[in-house]
Chain A
Amino acid sequence: MTEVREEYFYSKEHDWVKIDGEFAYLGISDYAQDELGEIVYVDYVKDVGDEIKIGEDYASVESTKSTSEVFSLVSGEVVELNEAVEDDSEVINASPYDNGWIIKIKLSETVDTSQLLSASDYEDFLKTL
Chain B
Amino acid sequence: MKTIAKQGLKFNEPLIFERSVVGKKGYSFKECLSNGSDPEDIFDDLFIRDEIKDFPEVSEVEVIRHFTRLSQLNYGLDSGFYPLGSCTMKYNPKVNEDIARFKGFNKIHPYFPEEFTQGALEVIFGLQEQLKKITGFEAVTLQPSAGAHAEFTGLKIIKAYHESNHDEKRKYIIIPDSAHGTNPASTTLAGFEVKNVKSGPDGYIEAETIAEIMDETIAGIMITNPNTLGVFEQDLDKIIKIVHSKGGLVYGDGANMNALMGKLKPAEIGFDVMHLNLHKTFSTPHGGGGPGAGPILVTQELKRFLPLPLVAKTEEGSFHIVKNAIGSIGRMKSFMGNFTVLVRAYSYILEMGERGLTQATEDAVLSANYIRESLKGHYHLPYEAESLHEVVFSDKNFKDLGVHTIDLAKRLIDYGLHPSTVYFPLIVSGAIMIEPTESESKEDIDYFIDVMKTIANEMKETPELLHNAPGISYRKRLDEVKAAKHPKLRWYKLDEETDE
Contact = CB atoms under 8 A, between A and B. Distances in A.
Interface of A: 35, 37-38, 40-41, 64-66, 90, 129
Task: Specify the main secondary structure of chain B where it touches its partner.
Answer: mixed
A37 B406 contact: yes
Given A37-B406, A129-B429, A66 B423 contact: yes
22 contacts: A35-B429, A37-B404, A37-B406, A37-B423, A38-B480, A38-B481, A40-B480, A40-B481, A40-B484, A40-B485, A41-B484, A41-B485, A64-B480, A64-B481, A64-B484, A65-B422, A65-B423, A66-B423, A66-B424, A66-B426, A90-B481, A129-B429
Size band of the interface chain B makes with A: 10 to 19
Nearest to A62: B484
Contacts, number: 22
A44 to B, nearest CB: 17
Contacts of B422: 65
Given A37-B404, A64-B481, 13 more contacts: A35-B429, A37-B406, A40-B480, A40-B481, A40-B485, A41-B484, A41-B485, A64-B484, A65-B422, A66-B423, A66-B424, A66-B426, A90-B481
Contacts of B485: 40-41
Interface in B298-347: none
A128 B480 CA distance: 31
Contacts of A38: 480-481
A118 to B, nearest CB: 24
Contacts of A64: 480-481, 484
Contacts of B426: 66
A41 B485 CA distance: 8
Nearest to A39: B481
**Which 5 pairs, one residue from A and one from B, show the smallest C-beta to C-beta distance?**
A64-B480, A65-B423, A40-B484, A38-B481, A40-B481
Nearest to B485: A40
Contacts of B480: 38, 40, 64
A40 B480 CA distance: 9
B14 to A, nearest CB: 28
B175 to A, nearest CB: 15
A37 B423 CA distance: 10
Interface of B: 404, 406, 422-424, 426, 429, 480-481, 484-485
A35 B481 CA distance: 15
Contacts of B406: 37
A59 B467 CA distance: 32
Nearest to B400: A1
A129 B399 CA distance: 12
Nearest to B479: A38
Contacts of A35: 429
A108 to B, nearest CB: 27
Contacts of A90: 481
A86 to B, nearest CB: 12
Nearest to A38: B481
Contacts of A37: 404, 406, 423
Contacts of B481: 38, 40, 64, 90
B154 to A, nearest CB: 24
A87 B480 CA distance: 17
Contacts of A41: 484-485
A39 to B, nearest CB: 8
A38 B424 CA distance: 16
Nearest to A64: B480
A69 to B, nearest CB: 10
A31 B481 CA distance: 19
A127 to B, nearest CB: 13
A128 to B, nearest CB: 12
A31 to B, nearest CB: 11
B252 to A, nearest CB: 25
B195 to A, nearest CB: 15
A41 to B, nearest CB: 8
A129 B429 CA distance: 9
Interface centre among A35, A65, A129 (most CB of B within 10 A): A65
B425 to A, nearest CB: 10
A90 B479 CA distance: 13
B465 to A, nearest CB: 20
Nearest to A88: B485
Interface centre among B404, B422, B423 (most CB of A within 10 A): B423
A63 B272 CA distance: 36
A37 B429 CA distance: 12
Contacts of A65: 422-423
A80 B93 CA distance: 58
Contacts of A40: 480-481, 484-485
Contacts of B423: 37, 65-66
A37 B404 CA distance: 10
A18 B424 CA distance: 32
B474 to A, nearest CB: 21
Nearest to B484: A40
A35 B405 CA distance: 11
A38 B482 CA distance: 10
